[in-house]
A and B are shown apart, each in its own frame.
Chain A
Amino acid sequence: MYTQALSIPDPAEQVPPAVTAAESAERLQRFQDRIDADGRIEPQDWMPDAYRRTLVRQISQHAHSEIVGMLPEGNWISRAPSLKRKAILIAKVQDEGGHGQYLYSAAETLGAARADLIDALHSGRAKYSSIFNYPTLNWADVGVIGWLVDGAAISNQIPLCRCSYGPYARAMIRICKEESFHQRQGYEALLVMMRGTQTQRNMVQDSVNRWWWKCLAMFGPPDADSLHSEQSMRWGIKRISNDELRQKFIDATVPQAQVLGITLPDPELKWNPERGHYDYGPIDWDEFWNTVNGKGPCNQQRLATRVKAHQDGQWLRDAALAHARKQQQRALKEAA
């Protein structure tokens, strides 16, 4: 799963200067040259402080999104319509947890502490993808999340496999391999519903109607309003612009919707032979920003669920440490 709220600054964060005086022009030039030559930056290499901070913010927001992204679908594990769908859903949700782990590890290579990152999420300082602040109202939502939300995620994540920061790029390669299963299982679940009763077909259409515009917003604000984009492009963190990715996603999705037999809820959606792309209607950015800023339908519930899970797991983390300590002492005693 994924975030595009990626380039959303955390509250109270100042947009940092690209480089401080202490960072000599020469080192900076070498750094930029390497990126321009499509080289990679590894954890021990020198990097401008702003590059490091941008990455920590983006990778940790991405990790938080994977973790919070387990919740909307997790709601349906106990209510999946068959054992097969339940096993698939468990595997998918487990993958999202794994993706979060890869990404937290990548953020840690930049010197961020795991505990601080998690604390930033739990205290509401850090953002995660706003798509997860919407509820999953019926079973079709699980299929639509796989098809559209993960589909949007994949379009976003493939270019990140070529990100200039090595550990992030490597984590993304691993994640992209797994996401393909996520999208296909969702689309297939919807195909099955579309072959069912009229009520089932209506459920799919209703779900697509609710998620379509939110998925388009996942690609982030239009290029003209995108705060961090230009610098991120120069640094090789971002390779393709928000609008370009959004267009690619729409172009790929329209034929899939036709095969599925549903309509996409946009009266302005139509093929433009001159551009060689589909035209589409305006996105409601007010709603997007409202949700990013905490006023979506599930923001509070999602965060509260995460905090509770973390607190409820405290005894286990303590017990594991106590066990490790005991084993260590026993080994020391035996050695003496």
Chain B
Amino acid sequence: MNATPALKDWPLWEVFVRSKQGLEHKHCGSLHASDAAHALQMARDVYTRRQEGVSIWVVPSSAISASAPQDKGEFFDPAADKIYRHPTFYEIPAEVGHM
């Protein structure tokens, strides 16, 4: 992490939890902590008090880049008119069965 903020307050971290082996990590919230090790410990206490996770990622919130909601139209537009990317676009004779 290069853009380390002047550590005046405990910085904000985003927390991702893998609920069980074989599933992806999922964003579940955020918290303040002094460093990564501390953030992991806090995340365990705040987000997995009932065995909700087998693995936790913490990421400095400042390190996340997000797409802008006001650009939603054009940003996602390229996919909007390509219905041939979906299997339902193609008609297959019924006697073929499941495909």
Q: Is the CB of B29 within 8 A of A321?
A: no
Say yes or no: A44 contacts B35, CB within 8 Å.
no
A105 within 8 A of B: yes
- Cα-based distance from A41 to B28 in the complex (angstroms): 17
Kindly report which residue of chain B lies nearest to residue A106, judged by CB atoms. Answer: B29
Interface contact B30-A105, CB-CB below 8 Å: yes
Q: Is B62 an interface residue (CB 8 A)?
A: no
**B12 close to chain A: CB less than 8 A:** yes
Residues of A within 8 A of B79 (CB): none
Nearest B-chain residue to A328, judged by Cβ = B4
B35-A323 in contact (CB<8A): yes
Q: B68 at the A/B interface (Cβ < 8 Å)?
A: yes
Interface code B1-38, partner A: CB below 8 Å = 1, 0 otherwise?
A: 00010010110100000000000000011111111001
CB distance from B27 to the nearest CB of A (A): 10
Measured CB to CB, the nearest residue on chain B to A102 is B29
Q: How far is the CA of A317 from the CA of B9 in the complex (A)?
A: 9
The A contact surface, by secondary structure, is helix
Residues of B within 8 A of A101 (CB): 31, 46
Contact of B7 among A42, A170, A324 (CB under 8 A): A324
Once A44-B66, A44-B68, A171-B29 are accepted as A-B contacts, the answer to whether A321 and B45 lie under 8 Å apart by CB is: no
Is A325 an interface position by the 8 A CB rule?
yes
- Total interface residues in chain A, CB < 8 Å: 27
A102 to B46, Cβ gap below 8 A? yes
- The chain B residue with its CB closest to the CB of A316 is B34
In this complex, how many residues of chain B approach chain A with their Cβ under 8 Å: the count is: 22
Is A45 at the interface (CB under 8 A from chain B)?
A: yes
Which residues of B have CB within 8 Å of A178?
A: 49-50
Q: Given the known A-B contacts A95-B49, A98-B46, are A327 and B35 also in contact in the complex, defined by CB atoms under 8 Å? A: yes
B19 CB to nearest A CB, Å? 13
Chain B residues with CB under 8 Å of A317's CB are: 10, 34
Does A114 sit within 8 A of B, measured CB to CB?
A: yes
Chain B residues positioned under 8 Å from A45 (CB to CB):
69
Query: Is B35 in contact with A108, judged by CB distance below 8 angstroms?
Result: no
List A residues 296-336 near B (Cβ within 8 Å).
317, 320-321, 323-325, 327-328
List B contacts of A115 (CB < 8 A). 9
- How far, in Å, is B70 (CB) from chain A's closest CB? 7
* CB <8 Å contact, A324 and B38: yes
Judge if A94 is at the interface, Cβ distance under 8 Å: yes
Q: A46: which B residues are within 8 A, CB to CB?
A: 69-70
Question: How far, in angstroms, from A320 to B41 measured CA to CA in the complex?
Answer: 13
- CB contacts (< 8 Å) of A109 on chain B: these are 30
Establish whether residues A42 and B69, one from each chain, have CB atoms under 8 Å apart when the complex forms.
Answer: yes
In the complex with contacts A94-B49, A98-B46, A102-B29, A44-B69 CB distance below 8 A: yes
Per the bound structure, the CA–CA distance linking A46 and B72 in Å amounts to 13
Give chain B residues whose Cβ lies under 8 Å from the Cβ of A171: 29
A98–B45 Cα gap in the complex (Å)?
8
* Chain B residues within 8 Å of A44, by CB: 66, 68-69
Complex: A98 Cα to B50 Cα, angstroms: 12
Enumerate chain A residues within 8 angstroms of B4, measured Cβ to Cβ: 328
Near B by CB (< 8 A), chain A positions 251-302 give none
Smallest distance from the beta carbon of A60 to chain B beta carbons, Å? 15
Q: Identify the closest chain B residue to A320 (Cβ).
A: B34
Residues of B contacting A320 with CB < 8 Å? 10, 33-35, 38
B72 CB, min distance to chain A CBs, angstroms: 10
Residues of A with Cβ closer than 8 Å to B?
42, 44-46, 91, 94-95, 98, 101-102, 105, 108-109, 114-115, 170-171, 174, 178, 317, 320-321, 323-325, 327-328
What are 17 of the A-B contact pairs (CB < 8 Å)?
Answer: A44-B69, A46-B70, A94-B45, A98-B46, A98-B49, A101-B31, A101-B46, A102-B46, A105-B30, A105-B31, A109-B30, A114-B32, A170-B29, A321-B7, A323-B35, A324-B35, A325-B7
